[in-house]
Amino acid sequence: MTYCLGILSNSGLVMAADSRTNAGVDYISTHQKLFDFSNPGERVILICTAGNLSITQGALTLLRRDLVAKEENNLHTLPTMYEVARYVGTKARVIQEQDRPWLEKDGIDFKCTFLVGGQICGEEPALFLVYSQGNCIQASKETPFLQIGEAKYGKPILDRILDFNTPLEAAAKCALLSIDSTMKSNISVGPPINVVMYETDTFKVRYELKLSLGAPYLAQIRKKWEISLNEAFDRMPNIDWEHYQDLPDDSVSLHG
């Protein structure tokens, strides 16, 4: 599996991804899933990938090929983030058209999803989720984060902590803890973790981090979070059973 997330904030954008892939539990390996296609000074384009690795790698290859060949439409020429997201979706469709019938025949999941975030000069920062079908949705002030892959374990912390006005540094920390929570609960999500923090109107990726297994900072943040959570838990009041204790047998409300 994979877990990637993007967070749009009023001061910028955070993108983060784990790096574990697996073909069954007996073939686990490491592949980067967060890519920087920026043209510094003019645009920042960050892409995260999840799903069938052969499909997502194929789509990335097509994206790079258009850049090298200086095709009219490429990641550095398209005028808006929306068009960039649609264009990524188009590449996913091209590869799926080639491979889907063969994968489908053997019951292999051909699905893929992308997060496409960044800022193009003249626009506000934007964040899109591109579905396997090539269509896309956009993050908004109401829902400032988007997730792909194994998204459920890491969602509670985002739901409790984040909104559009969360400071960028806090959003980055939250992204890291969301990935760490997922790694703790699902072995198919794993390090290295890549995190990028982008400040609006800088048009350059200035903050990026790669945390490998055993990175002291990763160990430290995991340990501290575990301790903090346990302390917070201990401070919570125990359940007030008072009015529910020693019910006469015939009044047990859960009687089967």
Q: Among residue numbers 52 through 81, which ones bind a second copy (CB under 8 A)? A: 60, 63-64, 75
Residues in the interface with a second copy (CB under 8 A) total: 75
DSSP letter at 238?
Answer: P
Residue closer to a second copy (CB basis): 70 or 160: 160
CB of 29 to a second copy, least distance (A): 18
CA dihedral 7, 8, 9, 15 (to 10 degrees): 50
CB of 219 to a second copy, least distance (A): 13
176 binds a second copy (CB under 8 A): yes
Q: Is the peptide bond before 192 cis (omega within 30 degrees of 0)?
A: yes
List all residues 6 or more positions away from 238 whose beta carbon is below 8 Å from its beta carbon. Answer: none
C-alpha span between 187 and 20 (Å, rounded): 9
255 binds a second copy (CB under 8 A): yes
Alpha carbon 107 to its chain centroid, in Å, reads 26
Residue closer to a second copy (CB basis): 27 or 241: 241
Q: Among residue numbers 3 through 42, which ones bind a second copy (CB under 8 A)? A: 32, 34-38, 40
Q: Among residue numbers 199 through 238, which ones bind a second copy (CB under 8 A)? A: 204-210, 217, 220-221, 224-226, 228-238
CB of 80 to a second copy, least distance (A): 19
- Across the strands, what pairs with 208? 196
**Contact by Cβ (8 Å): 193, 19:** yes
239 binds a second copy (CB under 8 A): yes
